[in-house]
Amino acid sequence: QNFNNPVLDFDQTPPGVLSLDLMVYFARNQQDNYVRLVLENSSRDDKHECPFGKTTIHITKMLCEILKIGEQPTETGQDFYPMFFTHDSAFEEFYCICVQLFNKTWKEMSAIKDDFDKVGYVVHDQIVLALDNKPSSLDSFKQKLQSLSYAEILKKRQQERADREKFDSQALPVVELQKKIKPDIIELVRQQRFNFLISGTAFHKISNKRLRDKSRWYCRLSPNHKFLHYGDIDDTMVCPHIEALPEKLAITDVRDLVTGKNCPHIKNVRTHKMTTELAFSILFDPDDSLNFIAPDKETWSLWSDGINALLGKPMVSARATTDVDMLLTMEMKLRLLDLENIPIPDQPPPIPPLPKNYNFTLTA
C-alpha cells in the first residue's frame, strides 16, 4: 500500500513483521509453489493480478483473528487443532496452504483488484469451514479445502440465506405483516388480469367437426369491466378495436366459468389432453355458452383468473398462486430491508399499560 516506504505496510500488529517472515518461509521452503504463484500472476492482465504482498498481509491478519494469535489464552476455550502439532513449522505451512487457496479462489472468481475484499470474505469462510472438522493433519486440511470451491461457498451462503428467510417468515410479527399486505397483492394481481383481458386475445374458432380451425376470433373486455366484446377477425387484424367486434356479452349475465372436460364443447368430443387442458367456457342465461380454446397455458391461466375475478370468485390457477407468492415475497423483503441481520422476535413487544390519568403537562 505504501509504495514510497513499503516498511510501513508491516507497522500494524497483527500481522506486523510476521507476514514478512511468512513470505520468506514460502519462498525458501516451497520454492516451486512460490515461483508458480508469482509467475501465474505475472502473466495475468494488470487488473486481474492478485497482489502477493497485500494478500500475505491480509491472510496473516485473518489467520491471527481465526486462531486468536496474540490474545491471552482462556481456561474455557474448547477449540483444539491437532494438525498444529504435526509439523515443526505448522503455522508457516498453514499459511502456505492458505495463500495458495487465496490465489485459487481469486482465479475462480475472475476477480480484479477492486474485488480483493470479496475474495477475502470467501477465503475466510473456506478456512473456517475446513477447520470446523478439526483436521488431524495439514494434508487433511488441504484435502478439505479442495471440496470448498467458490461455487460451493456460494451455494452454502444462498442456502443459509434461504433458511434464515424461512425462519424469519415464521415469526409472528412477520406472519401478521404478511396477512396485512396480502389483500393488496391479490388486488394487484386482479388488476393485472383485468388489463390482460382488456387488451384481448385471438382464439381459434371451433367448428363442429374439429376443435381447431384456421379461422380466428377475438375477445376482449371493455375498459369499464361491464362487457365482453367478441367477433371474427382475419389474418390482417392483430388487435382490433372494440368497435370492430360486433358481439358483446354483459358480465352481469354470466352465470359461471367452467374449464376442461366440464366445457360444453369438450364433453362429447374426443380431444387431445392438451386441448382439454386449454379449454374454458363462459356460461350465461338461459343455457348458452361462449367457448374458448386458449393458445397456451399462460393465456388460459390469465383468462380463467380474470373471469373468476370479474365474477367475484378467487383466482385459483397455479399462475395466480405463483404471482401472489412472488410479489408478496418481494414486498416483504423490501419492508424488512432495514432489519437485515437483526433477529426478529417470535412475539411482538408488550404494549405498556395505560397511564392512571391523562393529565399530561409540558415542563420547561
How do residues 201-244 score in pLDDT, each as one tens digit? 998 877 654 544 557 899 999 999 999 999 988 877 778 888 88
What distance in Å separates the CA atoms of residue 105 and residue 121, rounded to the nearest whole number? 11
Q: How confident is the model at residue 19 (pLDDT cuts 50, 70, 90)?
A: confident
Pair (256, 162) in one structural domain: no
| Domain contains 213 | yes
For 132, counting Cβ atoms within 10 Å of its Cβ (0-12 exposed, 13-18 middle, 19+ buried), the class is exposed
Pair (161, 84) in one structural domain: yes
Pair (33, 131) in one structural domain: yes
**DSSP of 251-303, one letter per residue?**
GGGEEEEEEGGGSHHHHTS---HHHHHTEEEEEETTTEEEEEE-SSHHHHHHH
Backbone angles phi, psi at 297, to 5 degrees: -65, -35
Pair (160, 205) in one structural domain: no
Amino acid present at 269: V
pLDDT digits (tens, 9 = 90+) for 304-362: 999 999 999 999 899 999 999 999 988 988 887 777 666 777 777 788 888 888 777 66
Pair (27, 159) in one structural domain: yes
Q: How confident is the model at residue 271 (pLDDT cuts 50, 70, 90)?
A: low
Pair (136, 216) in one structural domain: no
| Domain contains 176 | no
Pair (160, 190) in one structural domain: no
Pair (144, 218) in one structural domain: no
Mean pLDDT of the chain: 85
Strand 201-204 versus strand 216-221 pairing type: antiparallel
Q: Is the pLDDT of residue 32 over 80?
A: yes
Q: Is the pLDDT of residue 292 over 60?
A: yes
Is 170:159 a contact under the CB 8 Å cutoff? no
Q: Is the pLDDT of residue 364 over 60?
A: no
Q: Is the pLDDT of residue 188 over 90?
A: yes
Full residue range of the structural domain in which residue 13 is found? 6-70+79-166
CATH of the domain at 192: 2.30.29.30
DSSP letter, residue 49 = -
Is 340:185 a contact under the CB 8 Å cutoff? no
| Domain contains 275 | yes
DSSP letter, residue 228 = E
Overall pTM surpassing 0.75 (yes/no): no
What distance in Å separates the CA atoms of residue 345 and residue 107, rounded to the nearest whole number? 41
| Domain contains 1 | no
| Domain contains 350 | no
Pair (95, 129) in one structural domain: yes
What distance in Å separates the CA atoms of residue 170 and residue 255, rounded to the nearest whole number? 40
What is the three-class DSSP state of 112? coil
What are the Cα distances from residue 185, in Å, to 54, 94, 99, 134, 210? 50, 54, 50, 49, 41
Between 224 and 269, whose confidence is greater? 224
What distance in Å separates the CA atoms of residue 212 and residue 341, rounded to the nearest whole number? 56
Pair (19, 155) in one structural domain: yes
| Domain contains 332 | no
pLDDT digits (tens, 9 = 90+) for 276-286: 888 899 998 77
pLDDT digits (tens, 9 = 90+) for 58-101: 999 999 988 888 888 888 877 888 888 888 888 999 999 999 99
pLDDT digits (tens, 9 = 90+) for 90-137: 899 999 999 999 999 998 888 888 889 999 999 999 999 989 888 888
The tally of domains found in the chain comes to 2
Backbone angles phi, psi at 85, to 5 degrees: -110, 15
Pair (159, 190) in one structural domain: no
Return the closest-CA partner of residue 201 out of 298, 82, 75, 65. 298
Q: Give the start-end residues of each E strand in the chain.
A: 201-204, 216-221, 227-233, 247-250, 254-259, 279-284, 288-293
Pair (282, 187) in one structural domain: yes
- pLDDT at residue 10, rounded to an integer: 77
